[in-house]
């Protein structure tokens, strides 16, 4: 369950970019968005910034990835995604960070 990800052009609204990427890559739209984190991926090497949101109240549509993107959509329950993050099946660091942070905010750790 790696999260939909994408770039945000300089000067582009970060939330608008997240909304665009969610719809392009998954076909989903969200009625509610919560900013969950904002960090630099490696401040000693790059100025690349990662910002992630929790998108809820989803509606389904058709995904429309960019021509260079090959995306397979796989939906799993959150607890399964958490276990996948812990056992190394999900390796994208932003996805792992977002999943683990969400679990910690919920107030419990995986069994």
Greater confidence, 107 or 111?
107
pLDDT tens for 37-77 read 999 888 788 888 899 999 999 999 877 766 676 777 788 99
Our count of domains for the chain comes to 1
Residue 62 in any domain: the answer is yes
User: Is 5 within a domain?
Assistant: no
If phi over 0 gives left and psi between -120 and 50 gives alpha, with beta otherwise, what is residue 59? beta
Q: How confident is the model at residue 9 (pLDDT cuts 50, 70, 90)?
A: confident
Span 78-85, average pLDDT: 95
Mean pLDDT throughout 11-29?
Answer: 91
Tell me which of 73 and 12 has the higher pLDDT: 12
85 found inside a domain: yes
CA atoms within 13 A on the CB side of 39: 12
The answer to whether residue 1 is domain-embedded is no
Could you tell me the CATH number of the domain that includes residue 53?
Answer: 3.90.79.10
Range of the structural domain that residue 88 is part of: 14-106
- Give a yes or no: residue 90 inside a domain: yes
């Amino acid at each position: 369950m790696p999260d939909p990800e994408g770039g945000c052009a300089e000067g582009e609204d970060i939330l608008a970019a997240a909304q665009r990427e969610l719809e392009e890559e998954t076909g989903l739209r969200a009625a509610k968005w919560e900013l969950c984190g904002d960090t630099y991926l490696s401040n000693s090497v790059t100025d690349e910034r990662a910002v992630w949101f929790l998108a809820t109240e989803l509606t389904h549509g058709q995904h429309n990835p960019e021509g260079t993107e090959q995306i397979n959509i796989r939906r799993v329950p959150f607890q399964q995604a958490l276990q996948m993050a812990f056992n190394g099946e999900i390796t994208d660091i932003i996805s792992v960070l977002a999943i683990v942070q969400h679990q910690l905010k919920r107030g419990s750790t995986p069994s």
